[in-house]
Amino acid sequence: MDLGLSGRVALVTASSGGMGRNIALTLAREGADIVLFARSADKLSELAGTLEGEHGVRALPVTGSILDAGDITRLYATIKETFGRLDVAVFSTGRAPTPLRATLDETERSRWDESYEILLAGIVDLALGAAPLMTENKWGRMITITSASVARPMPHHALSTVFRAGVEAYMQHLSGEVGSAGITVNCVAPALIDAAHREGSGAYSEAQLAARRRMTSLNRLGTQEEVCGVVAFLASVQAGFVTGESIRVDGGMAACLLPAS
């Protein structure tokens, strides 16, 4: 299926590694020119070379942080100067502070403040910058990566889920206000996705992995490619009548009545 992304300009944030990197690769395979945004200049430069060399698209690395309003302003100014347009914006972020704790054990205000800035405020600033560029073209796709824990809370995830829920509410409101400009606004809410790339405190033990597999009706973890495929569809021409939605990619976790541990 031709997704109609060839020649489109797509921004992917947090694209220096993990899911953001995989989303950028997926959209480049569909022929989209990619704007990469993250804090690691070396990783962005390496990925830009891969996208251009393997997929023949233009790749623009922009180093910066979603926590810095000046960086976000510079990001969109660079996009406009380089491409003159923005068609797709995929907003991925970093994670809440680790280790995650039980809800009543999250007593440090600094951890809540950090999560708010990373998971909610940064997304709002990104959306505010993307909307005018898309409105100029009367076409656009905004896609935010949230979490299926918004629909079914997972143990020790309050620090993340509270602000992911706020993002989904914000995006629903936004979808109703920009639709007349031809812009769709959706969320992709993954959970239980294989994250073998994680190291240190972010890694799961074998026992934790087994418990996570039991939380799905498919008895396995999802793949990065399965999340990226949903993102690519929402970015496509074919998804033009899908807006204000949050699509879960969680192996049935939120829908089935299985124990949460």
List of domains in the chain = 9-249 (3.40.50.720)
For the cut 50, the answer to whether the pLDDT of residue 261 exceeds it is: no
Q: How confident is the model at residue 194 (pLDDT cuts 50, 70, 90)?
A: confident
pLDDT value of position 211:
75
Distance CA 45, CA 182 (A): 32
Share of the chain above pLDDT 70, in %: 94
Distance CA 49, CA 68 (A): 26
pLDDT value of position 200:
47
For the cut 60, the answer to whether the pLDDT of residue 197 exceeds it is: no
pLDDT value of position 91:
98
Share of the chain above pLDDT 90, in %: 78
pLDDT in tens, 231-256: 999 999 999 999 999 999 999 888 77
pLDDT value of position 204:
63
pLDDT value of position 50:
98
Mean pLDDT confidence for 122-149: 97
For the cut 80, the answer to whether the pLDDT of residue 127 exceeds it is: yes
Mean pLDDT confidence for 17-46: 97
For every residue of the chain, DSSP letters joined together read ---S-TT-EEEEESTTSHHHHHHHHHHHHTT-EEEEEES-HHHHHHHHHHHHHHH---EEEEE--TT-HHHHHHHHHHHHHHTS---EEEE---PPPSS---GGG---HHHHHHHHIIIIIHHHHHHHHHHHHHHHHT-EEEEEE--GGGTSPPTT-HHHHHHHHHHHHHHHHHHHHHGGGTEEEEEEEE-SB--TT--GGG---HHHHHHHHTTSTTSS-B-HHHHHHHHHHHHSSTTTT--S-EEEESTTTTTS-----
For the cut 70, the answer to whether the pLDDT of residue 201 exceeds it is: no
From residue 11, alpha-carbon distances to 52, 101, 193, 236 in Å are 15, 33, 23, 14
pTM of the model: 0.91
pLDDT value of position 202:
52
